[in-house]
Structure 1
């Protein structure tokens, strides 16, 4: 008698979200055709799903590390992590983010008979927790002076290399990247800068003094190893990090994920300095038949005319730079920004920055295994915009970029 099919995960019940997860099914019939489906609900209750068609081996074993997915599902080919990176929301224009890092995402896997639509009989199911907070990592809410932030401290005795982590347009206080980074031995401060608690509601103007307070908080913290700290920013967070590195003391390494080297979206002030935002021309937005906007060409060129005033004087920075670039970023010209930033640094006799380019990667290069979001609502545009990227290439870029960022901070902090 054959045993009932069963699912085997490794790690068995719980893993960190950015760690690979091995998936296998045993007890199937020889060369049996099955459909595997993963489901995950975010904290707003929105459902993400992916499915793939497989055929078991002669021994009734199906190991996703050895068996390619057959055409007809969310992906095909040998993709051991495909059932995670191919997750797509049932609700259009919805991006997967983690709001509460203290609870895991619950991943559900179901095995169905055959390759039909809808799938056949349910043969096996299992659940697995994808966690964010490693055991022993401390999550410390920070409300010192004006700072609104969360500090993540690794287990054990510090001091640890310190990093300030900034997200982009959308505001609030996303903690998941900072939290995952702290799992690897960094003290990371996720810093809110607008649309959170008593911070400004809108992106009108930012004062660098606020960010300076956060830098000083980190530099003075007993668990943070000096003499300087690192900055990590994506999108709008990237140009804020560039401005911080250019004007504030105590910054040793700055990593930008699809960031801009021109000030974007809001006036920036520091003491008696004012940097205007790059001008935008909304007539250059292209809207598709399905109502999705492509905003790639809306920003003016920071090398021309009055827009040169928006170029951040990054040659003043006393730090090393890393540019992570998605070459299919449709939000703005990340590769152009990285290249022009590099030219400006070298023109002033500064060290050439590291630039890592990823073909087929879009705007939101997140920690590994976050599914690519092709398009979602942009708060400043008021409609969904296309972010760019091809799912598999984007997934591979996220895995590599995560390693590059950690290696960069280990080397320079």
Structure 2
């Protein structure tokens, strides 16, 4: 533990980060003839960037680096290696990275490949805690030569700090504690009314609100709804009552800033099968986005009035430990067709459903589950569904520019679990799906 603290202290001194938790300090001004331009300097976290360097020597090898220091003092970094053109310029929209954390022409590669630095615990999510009052600071630097991620690159030729915001000015945030409900609601500026959406994540638990805040910045009243592991909610997934989610739907539907009559829900992983249950049993839910979900109720029982849907279980004998030490649990979830009582009767849903899946999902086979759900809908004469299926994408499909995560540390096992996906294909899926998700919600809520 002492050696880790010493490493952190040394890295902090090198970066000039003393006295600031949210950003770096002590950077030099661009040196001499080299100019680095990142535009826009202030942007929403789901917006694209333009990164250009001018004033280099013809064919000069350089390394572009991005670094983020989170509010938890966790350092994330990325690097791409480039060669300037004959005019001494490079533009990430056209110039390929020839090494580093990614290769090829990937305009947003520096953000897509951000990962915990080597001194940090691996597999962490890049979290922004304070979504309204401060941005995520990203420092972009250009260095001479092709340096590795663990190599001290020397002084930067130029540097620029940019701000990535999760909220536009005027977003209103309310911490929700009403009845049994807990969570955060984000309201766009203006008179409204706006379409209302409930946002659910998976089995990590707690309150995860960055997507809801971005949705509010895009014109939705968004309720980030935790359902376990937060404040006085149940500690673990030991069974859920759909009445809790119904209470959230009714609260949002009656909110004066929400345009009715119906509301939407967006759910990821375990949150996706909850989103399917909500649109099946709660008629006030008229649009459901299910990201990397299952067509059955998973993990624990779901109760609603006098109904009970068993939770689809796991067979840990099918778990594989990879050579890297990462757990592959992709074949552990029981097949819904073997445990039909767990399948959600989607044919009862009158609203519209958007399935978003990655074809390289290694938590479970979400593409297969979406196809099974669609077969069931078709069998009952339903056409109230759409499918976005992405080759090379893994499990955690999040808003664009969210860094790719190959694995995460599982809450139960305490060990890294494979999420799947190929980095660039996964991030392209995030880029493509985000606008389509918003378009789907608007088309059925407005």
Partner of 2:140: 109
**Does the Cα contact within 8 Å between 2:112 and 2:404 map onto a contact in 1?**
yes
Pairwise CA distance, 1:386: 0.2
Partner of 1:40: 68
Q: What is the distance in 2 between the residues matched to 1:264 and 1:20?
A: 36
Q: Which one is further off, 393-402 or 258-267?
A: 258-267
Pairwise CA distance, 1:59: 2.7
Listed one character per residue, the Cα deviations across residues 225-274 of structure 1 (whole Å, up to 9, x for unaligned) are 11101110000000111111111121111110001111111111111111
Partner of 2:364: 332
Pairwise CA distance, 1:382: 3.4
**Does the Cα contact within 8 Å between 1:230 and 1:251 map onto a contact in 2?**
yes
1:271 partnered with 2:289: no
SS of residue in 2 equivalent to 1:148: strand
Gaps of 5+ in 1: none
Number of paired residues? Answer: 408
Q: What is the distance in 2 between the residues matched to 1:216 and 1:115?
A: 56
SS of residue in 2 equivalent to 1:199: coil
Distance 1:399 1:116, change over 3 A: closer
Gaps of 5+ in 2: 1-30
Q: What is the distance in 1 between the residues matched to 2:420 and 2:267?
A: 19
1:73 partnered with 2:86: no
Q: What is the distance in 1 between the residues matched to 2:289 and 2:254?
A: 22
Q: What is the distance in 1 between the residues matched to 2:391 and 2:413?
A: 26
SS of residue in 2 equivalent to 1:122: coil
SS of residue in 2 equivalent to 1:255: strand
TM alignment of 1:42-57, pairs within 5 A = 42-57=70-85
1:177 partnered with 2:208: no
Partner of 1:203: 237
* Ranges of 4+ aligned residues in structure 1 off by more than 4 Å: none
Pairwise CA distance, 1:105: 1.3
**Does the Cα contact within 8 Å between 1:35 and 1:51 map onto a contact in 2?**
yes
Listed one character per residue, the Cα deviations across residues 275-303 of structure 1 (whole Å, up to 9, x for unaligned) are 11112211011111332111111111111
Q: What is the distance in 2 between the residues matched to 1:16 and 1:84?
A: 13
Q: What is the distance in 2 between the residues matched to 1:54 and 1:403?
A: 30
**Does the Cα contact within 8 Å between 1:16 and 1:132 map onto a contact in 2?**
yes
Q: What is the distance in 1 between the residues matched to 2:62 and 2:299?
A: 49
TM alignment of 1:269-348, pairs within 5 A = 269-304=303-338, 307-348=339-380
Pairwise CA distance, 1:116: 4.2
**Does the Cα contact within 8 Å between 2:292 and 2:395 map onto a contact in 1?**
yes
Partner of 1:127: 161
Partner of 2:111: 84
**Does the Cα contact within 8 Å between 2:228 and 2:237 map onto a contact in 1?**
yes
Q: What is the distance in 2 between the residues matched to 1:3 and 1:47?
A: 28
1:189 partnered with 2:219: no
Q: What is the distance in 1 between the residues matched to 2:70 and 2:268?
A: 22
Partner of 2:127: 97
SS of residue in 2 equivalent to 1:130: strand
Q: What is the distance in 2 between the residues matched to 1:165 and 1:279?
A: 24
SS of residue in 2 equivalent to 1:398: helix
SS of residue in 2 equivalent to 1:140: strand
TM alignment of 1:206-285, pairs within 5 A = 206-285=240-319
Pairwise CA distance, 1:370: 0.8
1:23 partnered with 2:55: no
Pairwise CA distance, 1:315: 1.4
Q: What is the distance in 2 between the residues matched to 1:206 and 1:351?
A: 29
SS of residue in 2 equivalent to 1:164: strand
Q: What is the distance in 2 between the residues matched to 1:31 and 1:278?
A: 58
Could you state the TM-score of these two structures normalised by the residue count of structure 1? 0.96
Give the one of 151, 157, 162 matched to 2:196: 162
SS of residue in 2 equivalent to 1:261: coil
Q: What is the distance in 2 between the residues matched to 1:303 and 1:184?
A: 39
Partner of 1:147: 181
Pairwise CA distance, 1:120: 4.5
Pairwise CA distance, 1:344: 1.2
**Does the Cα contact within 8 Å between 1:254 and 1:322 map onto a contact in 2?**
yes
Pairwise CA distance, 1:352: 4.5
**Does the Cα contact within 8 Å between 1:346 and 1:352 map onto a contact in 2?**
no
Listed one character per residue, the Cα deviations across residues 314-351 of structure 1 (whole Å, up to 9, x for unaligned) are 11112111000100000011011101111111222222
